[in-house]
Amino acid sequence: MRGTPAALLLLLFILAFLTLELTHLLKPVEDVVAQLFFPLQQGLDSLGERFTNVGRYFQDLETLRSQNEELQKLVNQLVIENIRLREAEIENITLRQQLGFKEANPDYQLVSAQVIGRDPSNLLEYITIDRGSGDGVGVGMPVVTSQGLVGRVVETYPRSSRVLLITDASSSVNALVQNSRATGVVQGKPGGGVVMRYIQQGEEVKVGDLVLTSGLGGNFPRRLVIGQVTAVRQKDIELFQEAEVEPTVEFGHLEMVMIITDFE
């Protein structure tokens, strides 16, 4: 048979190989082959480790990206919560100030309101509030904060009102200087600010004096704070002197006000 010599040769080769292996005669040859292929094996191991490290790097990068997104969400939530808490704190401070004003003026009937609009044209100094005729607010009623006089209601609607500020040029408030009791009229100036006019010459008016409502005319209750004298102008040839007054109310930061719906 043709296949018999080949099979016999293969059997003889296997027997010879096993004999050499069992007698350790191939050990030198194996060592030489191992030394020859060691650098190649080492290179292949290093390359495999690098591929493993690259895969691990991208896996770690994706994990870090996911963790960063979660941390960013947490930061955003904390920022929003901090803003909410700060706004609540400011509102509580304002409410406490309003409560203090009510307790100091038990004769006043007060309605609290939020500022919801301002004059966009800057031609008139007024604000819009979220209380109107449906809330008992009427034209002419004084508007205040715990800092002092804001103005008076000039228009009402069922759920809102327009308030003319004391800084408007058409505004006039009967006033007095607290220390000397000198009387005059506080009027708004074009562009904002107020001035106390028609103060009799000879009356003592000093920088730093407080100016209050006098109650004359009945439009405003007495002793509402208007502002503080910052300058006095006197001319001997004129009947009256004038005083520049810095309002105590910060009109640029008005958020909540009170309407005096009744006073004695």
Residues 207 and 167 in one domain: yes
Residues 164 and 39 in one domain: no
Q: Residue 19's pLDDT is what? A: 65
Residues 100 and 65 in one domain: yes
Higher pLDDT, 227 or 100: 227
Q: What phi and psi values does residue 111 have, to the nearest 5 degrees? A: -125, 120
Q: Residue 188's pLDDT is what? A: 95
Q: What is the mean pLDDT of residues 25-40?
A: 60
113: helix, strand or coil = strand
Residues 93 and 47 in one domain: yes
- Quickly list H helices, 184-237: none
Whether 137 is in a domain gets the answer: yes
Whether 192 is in a domain gets the answer: yes
- How many angstroms separate the CA atoms of 210 and 70, rounded? 56
Whether 5 is in a domain gets the answer: no
Segment 56-73, tens digit of pLDDT: 777 878 888 888 888 888
Q: Residue 30's pLDDT is what? A: 58
Q: What is the mean pLDDT of residues 40-68?
A: 72
Q: Residue 98's pLDDT is what? A: 78
Q: What is the mean pLDDT of residues 92-98?
A: 77
- How many angstroms separate the CA atoms of 166 and 121, rounded? 17
Q: Residue 147's pLDDT is what? A: 94
Q: Out of 104, 127, 155, pick the residue that ends a domain.
A: 104
Segment 101-120, tens digit of pLDDT: 888 889 999 999 999 998 87
Q: Residue 5's pLDDT is what? A: 72
Residues 126 and 254 in one domain: yes
Q: Which helix (H) or strand (E) holds 66?
A: helix 27-104
Distances from the Cα of 66 to the Cα of 20, 53, 73, 77, 125, angstroms: 60, 20, 11, 17, 53
Higher pLDDT, 37 or 109: 109
Predicted TM-score (pTM) of the model is 0.69
Q: Residue 191's pLDDT is what? A: 75
* Tokens found for residue 47: 């390359």
Whether 168 is in a domain gets the answer: yes
Percentage of the chain exceeding pLDDT 70:
79
| Domain residue limits at 57 | 30-104
Residues 229 and 163 in one domain: yes
Number of H helices, E strands in the chain: 2, 12
Residues 150 and 244 in one domain: yes
- Does the structure show a pLDDT above 70 at 54? no
DSSP 130: S
Whether 170 is in a domain gets the answer: yes
- Does the structure show a pLDDT above 80 at 239? yes
Share the mean pLDDT of the chain. 85
- Does the structure show a pLDDT above 90 at 41? no
State the amino acid at position 261 in one-letter form: T
DSSP 158: T
Residues 99 and 194 in one domain: no
DSSP 135: G
Q: What is the mean pLDDT of residues 41-46?
A: 64
Lowest mean pLDDT among 6-10, 60-64, 129-133, 255-259: 6-10
Residues 166 and 222 in one domain: yes
Domain count across the chain: 2
Whether 17 is in a domain gets the answer: no
Q: Are the CB atoms for 132 and 160 separated by under 8 Å?
A: yes
Closest CA to 260 of 191, 194, 163: 163
Residues 43 and 141 in one domain: no
Q: How far is CA 46 from the centre of its chain?
A: 56
- How many angstroms separate the CA atoms of 165 and 153, rounded? 9
- Does the structure show a pLDDT above 60 at 33? no
Segment 150-174, tens digit of pLDDT: 999 999 999 999 999 999 999 999 9
- How many angstroms separate the CA atoms of 241 and 261, rounded? 34
Q: Out of 104, 136, 168, pick the residue that ends a domain.
A: 104
Whether 18 is in a domain gets the answer: no
Going by C-beta distance under 8 Å and a sequence separation of 6 or more, which residues neighbour residue 124?
164, 168, 170
Q: Out of 104, 136, 169, pick the residue that ends a domain.
A: 104
Q: Are the CB atoms for 226 and 186 separated by under 8 Å?
A: yes
Bridge partners of 156? 161
